[in-house]
Amino acid sequence: MLMPILQIHSEDMPAYAIVCGDPARAEKISRKLENARELAFSREYRTFVGEYEGIQMAVVSHGVGSPGAAVCFEELIRAGVKTLIRVGTAGSYTADYPAGSVIVSTAAVRSDGLTRQLVPDGFPAVADIDVTSALVAAARETGSGEGEAVSGEAGTEAGAASFTGVGATKVGVGITVTLDAFFTGVEEIPHRKYKQAGALAAEMEIAALYIVSTLRGARAGAIVAIDGFADSDLAAEYDPHTDAVAKAVEHEINAALRALATLARQDQATR
Ligand SMILES: O=P(O)(O)O[C@H]1O[C@H](CO)[C@@H](O)[C@H]1O
Ligand SMILES: O=c1cc[nH]c(=O)[nH]1
């Protein structure tokens, strides 16, 4: 069956997928797959399939923002994808996780408009526990390919989070915030409250991924590379193109590929 917006056929789709905002990042990830081939590049949605450690998987870009990303998640699940991992970037809420860190998202604050049109207020946007465990383990074991292992305790305003990582990348685990607005207008975004409540970072699609996956019976997780501070003046300071961010993106890609392969092997063993 042809998916009308992504322009992919369900017959070509594996059960496992990595999703990311940027079509160029999808291409970069696809270069780590064996026998990679591009299935379609329709609007912002670029789809590759290939193998990693012998497991068939897809890599698909979903663009910026929840409404467009949700279209991608819906069509992927309709096409037969059952496990999705988002590999994104985010702004940090704490100096303990500066640019160059990575964070595994356990749940997302639904500060977006899209999910309000899908489920009632108060319905939680949570990651799948198995996907999250696999991602945390993989993020702690893998790296960008350079550096020594690091570990320790990081204090957030609401409590403490432990971190370990390889390649000098700090790995945080916790709640992220999904916003619609990237640049600010005249309304204040309640960054200070999210921070005080213990959220670690903000981005723009994870809540949509968790809600669509929950609604449609798929499982999902997410990992983000930190590219600055969410509550800084993004119009003046945002720079996702530094070496530190590139290393963190490399780290999260390696972690996501390893986590998906681990989950697929676990599924094969229990079938
Ligand atoms: O790097 P990606 O995956 O696009 O994620 C983040 O970057 C974009 C904003 O620049 C938003 O999509 C946000 O969620
Ligand atoms: O949404 C985003 C993505 C990256 N960095 C941010 O500060 N916000």
pLDDT in tens, 140-175: 998 655 444 444 444 444 433 434 444 558 999 999
Q: Are 55 and 16 in contact (CB under 8 A)?
A: yes
- Indicate whether residue 227 lines ligand 1 (CB < 6 A): no
- Indicate whether residue 176 lines ligand 2 (CB < 6 A): no
Q: Give me the CATH number covering residue 89.
A: 3.40.50.1580
CA distances from 212 to 82, 156, 158, 174 (A): 12, 29, 29, 20
Q: Which domain holds residue 203?
A: 2-270
Would you state the pLDDT for residue 143?
67
Q: What is the mean pLDDT of residues 25-50?
A: 98
Proximal ligand: closest to the CA of 99: 2
Q: Are 251 and 139 in contact (CB under 8 A)?
A: yes
Q: Are 211 and 27 in contact (CB under 8 A)?
A: no
Structure tokens at 131: 């996907």
Residue 189 DSSP class: P
Q: Are 149 and 242 in contact (CB under 8 A)?
A: no
Choose between 146 and 258: higher pLDDT: 258
**% of the chain residues with pLDDT over 70:** 90
Would you state the pLDDT for residue 236?
83
Structure tokens at 102: 């990575």
pLDDT band at 47 (very low <50, low <70, confident <90, very high): very high
- Indicate whether residue 100 lines ligand 2 (CB < 6 A): no
Would you state the pLDDT for residue 148?
41
Is the pLDDT score of 250 beyond 80? Answer: yes
Structure tokens at 95: 């100096």
Distance CA 65, CA 50 (A): 26
Looking at ligand 2, which atom is closest to the CA of residue 91?
7
Pairing of strands 125-126, 102-111: antiparallel
Choose between 169 and 193: higher pLDDT: 193
pTM comes to 0.93
Is the pLDDT score of 215 beyond 70? Answer: yes
Split into its structural domains, the chain has a count of 1
Least confident of 27-36, 109-118, 145-154, 250-259: 145-154
Q: What is the mean pLDDT of residues 228-247?
A: 91
Probe residue for ligand 2, chosen from 203, 233, 241 as the CB with the greatest number of ligand atoms within 8 Å: 203
pLDDT band at 237 (very low <50, low <70, confident <90, very high): confident
